[in-house]
């Protein structure tokens, strides 16, 4: 595929501005629904989103420290290295005592089928953390490039190498990434790292399908080998994927598709040499991947510890020794 020639950020944004002036209102196609969004629809959508973001923010108005740009990852001992098989919760550190006493405050329980989906979204996206983020690049059937982040993302298998991405659908507008994957059967996933998280976040804007988020992001296309969509040159990891399977998800006793789960077969992986360790794994210190927590919060990986995988042979001996 011929990639667009490199353009400077200013020229790219100028092109976008011209495009927006020329095409005015935004034509958005949703399965079975076609409508024109007026600028007042968009203003309302943006107000709703701002209100949602501020409701969400955990950090209130306290002043923030500067981002600590020095490499942050370090290994420590595990929290409770002297723990023995079958031993009940030990209260070694202050924070473990607090963790135990917090339990006394009791539990809140949600009956999911009686909870509005907005509340479920807020609850689960802040509870199921940290989530890795897939930076997904696709091309539309007409060749328009598209780039957006998705944190309903995981690795699901290594033989064959499969990843999953899930798209939340709204009757108001389609997810261009989903449309493009269904149309072209291919995409790439790049891993987002600290160096370009703001640029990656900018591509989550709900722009019309004919807007190229690459130009907003200032990021660079790296040519793929096995698929047509490019991956992100600034990323330390780029995965070229073919569509393996899709699964439309409807709530029980409804035929409204609310999500589409996509499985992608990784055909080729690109990893920066500088992040590779000698043992064939990626060094988390160098990768500096960011993850998604609830609301607008991203997190970096600060510390790690190793807890060896248990062996039944060793464990059996330990159990027998405890019995005597
Ligand atoms: C960090 C982050 C993670 C996101 N994760 C998801 C996700 O997992 N699924 C989803 O449908 N939208 C997710 N979004 C929202 C999409 O990025 C957003 O709707 C975007 O406009 C989709 O772009 P597209 O229409 O070009 O595909 C996420 C946004 C951000 C900022």
The residue whose CA is least distant from atom 6 of ligand 1 is 150
Between the CA of 175 and the centroid of ligand 1 the distance, in Å, is 8
72, two tokens: 């942050």
Atom of ligand 1 nearest to the CA of 259: 11
Q: What is residue 173's predicted lDDT score, i.e. its pLDDT?
A: 86
pLDDT above 80 (res 313): yes
Is 292 within the bounds of a domain?
Answer: yes
Between the CA of 76 and the centroid of ligand 1 the distance, in Å, is 34
pLDDT above 80 (res 5): no
What's the pTM?
0.86
Q: How far apart are CA 2 and CA 7, in angstroms?
A: 14
pLDDT above 60 (res 4): no
Atom of ligand 1 nearest to the CA of 178: 27
The residue range of the domain holding 206 is: 117-304
Between the CA of 48 and the centroid of ligand 1 the distance, in Å, is 16
Give every CB contact of residue 189 below 8 A, 6+ residues apart in sequence.
134, 135, 136, 137, 153, 163, 165, 231, 238, 239, 241, 264
Q: What is residue 12's predicted lDDT score, i.e. its pLDDT?
A: 64
Between the CA of 78 and the centroid of ligand 1 the distance, in Å, is 34
Residues with CB under 6 A from ligand 1: 133, 146, 148-152, 166-168, 175-177, 201, 204, 206, 292
Is 284 within the bounds of a domain?
Answer: yes
Atom of ligand 1 nearest to the CA of 207: 21
Number of domains in the chain: 1
Helices and strands (H, E) in the chain, number of each type? 9, 16
Q: Is beta strand 303-304 parallel, antiparallel or unpaired with respect to 74-75?
A: parallel
Is 159 within the bounds of a domain?
Answer: yes
Indicate the pLDDT class of residue 90, thresholds 50, 70 and 90: low
Between the CA of 303 and the centroid of ligand 1 the distance, in Å, is 27
Calculate mean pLDDT across residues 139-154. Answer: 97
Between the CA of 302 and the centroid of ligand 1 the distance, in Å, is 25
Residue that wins the pLDDT comparison between 3 and 121: 121
In tens, the pLDDT along 112-130 reads 999 999 999 999 999 999 9
Q: How far apart are CA 182 and CA 190, in angstroms?
A: 19
Query: Is 129:293 a contact under the CB 8 Å cutoff?
Result: yes
pLDDT above 80 (res 6): no
Calculate mean pLDDT across residues 182-195. Answer: 97
Atom of ligand 1 nearest to the CA of 200: 31
pLDDT above 70 (res 147): yes
Q: What is residue 19's predicted lDDT score, i.e. its pLDDT?
A: 66
Pick the closest to residue 147 from 193, 202, 195 (CA basis).
202
User: SS3 for 266?
Assistant: strand
Q: What is residue 158's predicted lDDT score, i.e. its pLDDT?
A: 98
Q: What is residue 7's predicted lDDT score, i.e. its pLDDT?
A: 45
Q: How far apart are CA 54 and CA 236, in angstroms?
A: 32
What does the mean pLDDT of the chain come to? Answer: 85
Partner residues linked to 289 by β-bridges: 193
Indicate the pLDDT class of residue 292, thresholds 50, 70 and 90: very high
Q: How far apart are CA 312 and CA 168, in angstroms?
A: 42
Is 70 within the bounds of a domain?
Answer: no
Atom of ligand 1 nearest to the CA of 149: 17
Atom of ligand 1 nearest to the CA of 177: 27
pLDDT above 90 (res 184): yes
Give every CB contact of residue 147 below 8 A, 6+ residues apart in sequence.
135, 136, 137, 138, 203, 212, 213, 214, 217, 219, 232
Choosing from 56, 121, 136, 150 the residue with most ligand 1 atoms within 8 A of its CB, the one to mutate for a pocket test is: 150
Query: Is 191:236 a contact under the CB 8 Å cutoff?
Result: yes
Calculate what percentage of the chain has a pLDDT beyond 70. Answer: 80
Pick the closest to residue 148 from 123, 181, 126, 119 (CA basis).
181
Between the CA of 168 and the centroid of ligand 1 the distance, in Å, is 8
Name the least confident of 90-94, 198-202, 305-309: 90-94
pLDDT above 70 (res 197): yes
Name the least confident of 89-98, 204-213, 308-317: 89-98
Query: Is 216:203 a contact under the CB 8 Å cutoff?
Result: yes
Is 58 within the bounds of a domain?
Answer: no
Q: How far apart are CA 184 and CA 139, in angstroms?
A: 7
Pick the closest to residue 269 from 238, 315, 232, 296 (CA basis).
238
Helix, strand, coil % in the chain, rounded to nearest 5: 30, 25, 40
Cα within 13 Å of Cα(129), Cβ side:
19
pLDDT above 90 (res 92): no
Q: What is residue 321's predicted lDDT score, i.e. its pLDDT?
A: 86
Calculate mean pLDDT across residues 180-191. Answer: 98
Is 246 within the bounds of a domain?
Answer: yes
Is 96 within the bounds of a domain?
Answer: no
Instruction: Report the b/e string of 207-245 with b at 16+ CB within 10 A.
Output: bbbebbbbbbbbbebbebeebbbbbbebbbbbbbbebbe
Between the CA of 317 and the centroid of ligand 1 the distance, in Å, is 50
CATH number of the domain enclosing 197: 2.30.110.10
Q: Which residue has the tokens 């019309």?
A: 208
Choosing from 56, 126, 146, 148 the residue with most ligand 1 atoms within 8 A of its CB, the one to mutate for a pocket test is: 148
User: SS3 for 23?
Assistant: helix
In tens, the pLDDT along 10-69 reads 556 666 776 666 665 443 333 322 222 334 443 444 444 444 454 446 566 678 999 988
Q: What is residue 140's predicted lDDT score, i.e. its pLDDT?
A: 96
Is 281 within the bounds of a domain?
Answer: yes
Between the CA of 201 and the centroid of ligand 1 the distance, in Å, is 9
Residue that wins the pLDDT comparison between 91 and 234: 234
Cα within 13 Å of Cα(260), Cβ side:
17
Q: Is beta strand 145-150 parallel, antiparallel or unpaired with respect to 303-304?
A: unpaired
């Amino acid at each position: 595929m011929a990639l667009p020639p490199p353009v400077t950020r200013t020229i790219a944004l100028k092109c976008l501005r011209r495009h927006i002036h020329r095409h005015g209102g935004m034509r958005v196609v949703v399965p079975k629904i076609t409508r024109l969004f007026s600028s007042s629809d968009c203003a309302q959508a943006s107000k709703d989103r701002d209100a949602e973001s501020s409701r969400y923010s955990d950090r209130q108005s306290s002043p923030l420290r500067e981002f600590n740009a020095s490499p942050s990852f370090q290994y420590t001992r595990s929290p409770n290295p002297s723990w023995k098989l079958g031993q009940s919760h030990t209260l070694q550190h202050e924070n473990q005592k607090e963790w135990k006493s917090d339990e006394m405050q009791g539990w809140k329980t949600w009956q999911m089928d009686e909870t509005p989906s907005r509340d479920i979204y807020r609850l689960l996206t802040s509870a199921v953390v940290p989530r890795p983020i897939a930076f997904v690049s696709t091309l539309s059937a007409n060749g328009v490039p598209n780039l957006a982040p998705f944190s309903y993302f995981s690795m699901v298998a290594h033989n064959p190498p499969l990843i999953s991405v899930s798209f939340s659908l709204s009757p108001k507008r389609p997810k261009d990434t989903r449309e493009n994957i269904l149309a072209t059967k291919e995409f790439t996933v790049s891993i987002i790292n600290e160096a370009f998280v703001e640029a990656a976040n900018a591509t989550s804007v709900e722009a019309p399908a004919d807007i190229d988020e690459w130009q907003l992001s200032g990021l660079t296309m790296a040519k793929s080998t096995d698929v047509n969509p490019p991956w992100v040159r600034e990323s330390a990891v780029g995965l070229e994927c073919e569509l393996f399977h899709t699964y439309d998800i409807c709530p029980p006793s409804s035929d409204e598709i609310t999500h589409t789960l996509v499985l992608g077969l990784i055909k080729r992986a690109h990893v920066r040499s500088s992040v590779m360790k000698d043992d064939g794994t990626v060094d988390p210190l160098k990768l500096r991947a960011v993850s998604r927590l609830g609301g607008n919060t991203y997190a970096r990986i600060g510390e790690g510890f190793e807890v060896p995988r248990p062996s039944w042979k060793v464990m059996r001996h330990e159990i027998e020794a405890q019995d005597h």
